[in-house]
Structure 1
């Protein structure tokens, strides 16, 4: 198993796990490797620090301290060495928010503008929806007093990461 530090064209850093270098190159060539934050498939490998398992185990005090910190913090996010913790926490929060939106809205696809208007005029039940609209359609909805928020959701936010 190869664990690679990857970077997209926007500078987002993330980790990818592959069966081999050939597996990574094959997936990269088919645009199957995407940034989980922006969906870009323009990916490059960064420098990765090797993991050396030399048989040493942490002292019981250090293990207890880590467990105590994890319990107090709830969910922890580990930043790759190339990313400051502030950025990793921000990226993780953004992905949680995007997944929350996906889980709590209905995808109406290209019918977004029509469905938003139907809800606004009382022709359809009010509910959270998401979908695609052109910039012109979004501007028209705003002019009509219909609140919309453009938000790019990468495919990674729409499904469970393995």
Structure 2
């Protein structure tokens, strides 16, 4: 994988692009597939960037002085930051979703690794239908969907009953 720093010439937006190879970048650029994620412009070029050199295993990184962030220009939307706290509305929504999932699981039976087998048996009338939850691989889930068996991934991890405190 090659990571290029790219820059939109129209809005001077900088962003990263990941490519399989330098030839892959050229092919995508020629086909017009490299666009600015901020404004959608196709006028994008590689930006000047520092080389990325790996350190030797016996070298410790030098402590960098804390970077001073310059304040954004007025009217500039804030960029999303992965380690920033969630906005209050998002935190409330996540809590509400977690509560709804917990309530739904109270009327469901945990079947563990037998989820795909049990879902199939109920779908084909080999056993009584009931609400179940458990574990399935991505392949098993895809096969169930292809067979027309309804399922839904849980939004939050569930601790198996035998592992709960």
The answer to whether TM tops 0.5 is no
Query: TM-score with structure 1 length normalisation?
Result: 0.43
| Greater fraction helix | 1
Larger Rg: 2
Higher-RCO chain (CA-CA 8 Å, sequence separation at least 6): 1
Query: TM-score with structure 2 length normalisation?
Result: 0.42
